[in-house]
């Protein structure tokens, strides 16, 4: 990509400098940056291409400056407190904003390989909490990339920001005003900690460091597929067979992939335990059955409200037993974390361990352990809702090559709006090859034809 220029965009109104502590749930996240990128067909402007892109970048920067007034946490920076913990300094340092040009057309992008296609359209975050990159392609299409510090925001919070930014760009009022009331996640007094949390989370010092591998089959890489809605329905039907309760699509999909990765490991590892984690958002759980202010505030709470329960099963059982049995196992370990008490216990557990940082135990996979991966849910990813004024994106995805040994999977809704899923897989190369060979009817590589991108785009 050439011709890149940079700027810093601060909030449009003055912000009084202040400190915003990270909540106990924020403190469960190590310093990791997450990428998200949205691709748009050529905006329908009558002016020349150069003037059009200049106008687009100007509109985006002005709308970003307005959005940062409300989402002021994104205009600050993470610093270290006297206790050695990260905290947010809301000083309106601003957001690094890069404009660039890519000498390729939208249709030429290999969306199937996000390490190639998405990576060039998201900025390297050097300072602050987020960075933005806006790129014009030679066909006039636009890519809007964002890199954010996961310690400050989860996907839900970032989605809320993206929608608000686009609404301001269209001169509309924002639909959700973020809440930064950290008191909503204060620990209880006295602390009440359930021993079950000790199995799910461990001190960060126990996380093994990333290791280089010479075996290309074991190198973690990223791929993006689409899964058709009728295939998802079939998986759900098979996963619910014999069960009194219909399994959700995320339970059914997770169970199916768990079986596949166990089969890839093979019988020589049949007695080894494979682990699967599923990310759970606690906003609705913490609101409980309440109505009124607290429920509304939890809906707009900005920060991390996540837990990562996981289960472990012998590879032989995952291979030999039916999909419905595996789905039941997924349902069981998820059930314990989808309650208000679980999140209250987790908040208190973090308090008892501060200032020692902690992390989800499923990420702590040793070199001699079975396959482990985490399924997050981007089903609320507002792909079609992020319209800056020239139409909804033709494609969007998160990109999270986080560098550990544990795989990462994120399904999001297809921009086609037909019930299909777009699925981001960050797994070992050998696993990805096996998945494609074993289940080509499920995992179909994303391409321009599926996204209805033609040669003129």
Q: What is the pLDDT of residue 206?
A: 65
Question: Beta strand pairing status for 358-360 and 201-203?
Answer: antiparallel
- Residue 451 lies inside a defined structural domain of this protein: no
Name beta bridge partners: 234: none
Q: Measure the CA–CA gap between 208 and 216, rounded to whole angstroms.
A: 20
Pick the more confident residue, 66 or 382: 66
What pLDDT digit, counting tens, does each position of 99-112 carry? 999 999 999 999 99
Name beta bridge partners: 223: 425
Edge-first strand listing for the sheet containing 407-413: 310-314, 273-278, 372-375, 407-413, 421-428, 220-227, 444-445
Q: Give the rounded percent of residues in the chain with a pLDDT score beyond 90.
A: 80
Instruction: State the average pLDDT over residues 436-443.
Output: 98
CATH number of the CATH domain containing 84: 3.30.559.10
3-state class (DSSP) for residue 34: strand
Q: Chain-wide mean pLDDT for the chain?
A: 92
Q: Measure the CA–CA gap between 36 and 38, rounded to whole angstroms.
A: 7
Q: What is the pLDDT of residue 287?
A: 86
3-state class (DSSP) for residue 41: coil
Element (H, E) at 59: helix 49-70
260-269, 328-337, 377-386 — which one is most confidently predicted on average?
328-337
Do 231 and 155 sit in the same domain of this protein?
no
Q: What is the DSSP letter of 370?
A: -
Q: Measure the CA–CA gap between 147 and 164, rounded to whole angstroms.
A: 17
Report whether 96 contacts 123 (CB < 8 A). yes
Element (H, E) at 4: strand 2-9
455 burial level (CB within 10 Å; 0-12, 13-18, 19+): exposed
Pick the more confident residue, 208 or 239: 239
Q: Measure the CA–CA gap between 282 and 268, rounded to whole angstroms.
A: 39
Q: Residue 99 belongs to what domain range?
A: 2-184
- Residue 394 lies inside a defined structural domain of this protein: yes
Do 326 and 404 sit in the same domain of this protein?
yes
Q: Give the rounded percent of residues in the chain with a pLDDT score beyond 70.
A: 93
- Residue 454 lies inside a defined structural domain of this protein: no
Do 228 and 370 sit in the same domain of this protein?
yes
Give yes or no for residue 429 having a pLDDT over 70.
Answer: yes
Q: What is the pLDDT of residue 297?
A: 84
Instruction: State the average pLDDT over residues 377-385.
Output: 86
- Residue 382 lies inside a defined structural domain of this protein: yes
3-state class (DSSP) for residue 175: coil
Question: Beta strand pairing status for 220-227 and 444-445?
Answer: antiparallel
At residue 52 the predicted structure's pLDDT band, cuts being 50, 70 and 90, is confident
Q: What is the pLDDT of residue 382?
A: 87
3-state class (DSSP) for residue 136: strand
Q: What is the pLDDT of residue 217?
A: 65
Do 37 and 118 sit in the same domain of this protein?
yes
Say what the pTM is. Answer: 0.93
- Residue 450 lies inside a defined structural domain of this protein: no
Do 245 and 144 sit in the same domain of this protein?
no
Q: What is the pLDDT of residue 77?
A: 97
First-to-last C-alpha distance (Å) of the chain: 18
Distances (CA, A) of 23 to 87, 180, 181, 311, 453: 9, 10, 10, 26, 43
Do 363 and 433 sit in the same domain of this protein?
yes
Q: What is the pLDDT of residue 283?
A: 95
At residue 49 the predicted structure's pLDDT band, cuts being 50, 70 and 90, is low
Lookup: tokens for 453: 């991108």
Lookup: tokens for 283: 């906003």
Q: What is the pLDDT of residue 312?
A: 96
What pLDDT digit, counting tens, does each position of 281-332 carry? 999 999 865 545 566 789 999 999 999 999 999 999 999 999 999 999 999 9
Do 128 and 242 sit in the same domain of this protein?
no
3-state class (DSSP) for residue 220: strand
Instruction: State the average pLDDT over residues 373-393.
Output: 91
Distances (CA, A) of 271 to 264, 315, 369, 427, 434: 14, 6, 10, 22, 21
Exposure string over 164-177, b if 16+ CB within 10 A, otherwise e: bbbbbbeeeebebe
Report whether 93 contacts 85 (CB < 8 A). no
Do 220 and 92 sit in the same domain of this protein?
no
Nearest Cα residue to 220 out of 38, 431, 35: 431
Question: Beta strand pairing status for 2-9 and 95-102?
Answer: antiparallel
Domain boundary pick from 165, 184, 203: 184
Give yes or no for residue 267 having a pLDDT over 90.
Answer: no
Do 124 and 241 sit in the same domain of this protein?
no
Q: Measure the CA–CA gap between 193 and 27, rounded to whole angstroms.
A: 17
Give yes or no for residue 367 having a pLDDT over 90.
Answer: no
What pLDDT digit, counting tens, does each position of 323-332 carry? 999 999 999 9
Instruction: State the average pLDDT over residues 65-74.
Output: 98
Do 301 and 419 sit in the same domain of this protein?
yes
Lookup: tokens for 427: 């797994």
Give yes or no for residue 48 having a pLDDT over 50.
Answer: no
Domain boundary pick from 158, 184, 210: 184
- Residue 189 lies inside a defined structural domain of this protein: no
- Residue 71 lies inside a defined structural domain of this protein: yes
Report whether 153 contacts 306 (CB < 8 A). no
Residue with tokens 């975050």: 125
Instruction: State the average pLDDT over residues 173-177.
Output: 95
Give yes or no for residue 79 having a pLDDT over 50.
Answer: yes
Q: What is the pLDDT of residue 379?
A: 80
Do 124 and 215 sit in the same domain of this protein?
no
- Residue 32 lies inside a defined structural domain of this protein: yes
Name beta bridge partners: 95: 9
Pick the more confident residue, 122 or 402: 122
At residue 348 the predicted structure's pLDDT band, cuts being 50, 70 and 90, is very high
Do 178 and 260 sit in the same domain of this protein?
no
Number of domains in the chain: 2
Domain boundary pick from 121, 149, 184: 184
């Amino acid at each position: 990509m050439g011709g890149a220029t940079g700027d810093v965009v601060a909030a449009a109104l003055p912000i009084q400098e202040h400190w915003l502590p990270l909540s106990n749930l924020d403190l469960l996240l190590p310093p990791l940056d997450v990428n998200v990128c949205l691709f748009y067909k050529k905006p329908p402007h009558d002016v020349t291409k150069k003037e059009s892109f200049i106008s687009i970048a100007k509109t985006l920067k002005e709308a970003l400056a307005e959005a940062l007034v409300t989402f002021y946490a994104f205009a600050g920076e993470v610093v270290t407190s006297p206790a050695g913990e990260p905290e947010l300094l809301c000083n309106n340092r601003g957001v690094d904003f890069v404009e660039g040009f890519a000498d390729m057309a939208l249709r030429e992008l290999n969306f199937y390989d996000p390490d190639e296609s998405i990576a060039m359209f998201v900025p390297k975050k050097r300072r602050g909490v987020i960075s933005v990159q806006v790129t014009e392609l030679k066909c006039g299409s636009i890519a809007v990339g964002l890199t954010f510090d996961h310690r400050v925001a989860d996907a839900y919070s970032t989605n809320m920001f993206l929608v608000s930014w686009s609404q301001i760009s269209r001169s509309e009022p924002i639909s959700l005003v973020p809440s930064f009331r950290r008191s909503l996640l204060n620990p209880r007094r006295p602390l009440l900690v359930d021993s079950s949390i000790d199995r799910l989370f461990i001190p960060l010092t126990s996380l093994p460091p990333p290791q280089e591998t010479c075996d290309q089959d074991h190198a973690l890489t990223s791929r993006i597929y689409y899964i058709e809605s009728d295939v998802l329905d079939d998986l759900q039907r098979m996963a619910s067979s014999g069960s009194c309760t219909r399994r959700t699509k995320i339970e059914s999909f997770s169970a199916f992939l768990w079986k596949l990765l166990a089969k890839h490991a093979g019988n020589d590892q049949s007695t080894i335990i494979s682990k699967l984690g599923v990310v759970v958002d606690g906003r609705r759980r913490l609101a409980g059955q309440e109505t009124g202010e607290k429920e509304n505030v939890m809906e707009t709470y900005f920060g991390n409200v996540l837990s990562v329960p996981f289960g472990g099963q012998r590879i032989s059982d995952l291979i030999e037993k039916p999909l419905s049995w595996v789905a039941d196992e997924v349902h069981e370990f998820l059930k314990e974390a989808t309650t208000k008490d679980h999140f209250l216990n987790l908040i208190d557990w973090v308090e008892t361990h501060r200032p020692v940082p902690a992390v989800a135990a499923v990420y702590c996979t040793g070199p001699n352990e079975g396959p482990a991966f985490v399924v997050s849910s981007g089903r609320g990813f507002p792909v079609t809702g992020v319209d800056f004024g020239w139409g909804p994106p033709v494609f969007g995805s998160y990109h999270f090559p986080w560098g550990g040994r544990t795989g990462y999977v994120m399904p999001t809704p297809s921009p086609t709006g037909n019930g299909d899923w777009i699925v981001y897989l960050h797994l070992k190369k050998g696993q990805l090859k096996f998945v494609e060979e074993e289940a080509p009817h499920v995992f179909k590589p994303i391409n321009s034809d599926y996204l209805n991108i033609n040669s003129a785009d």
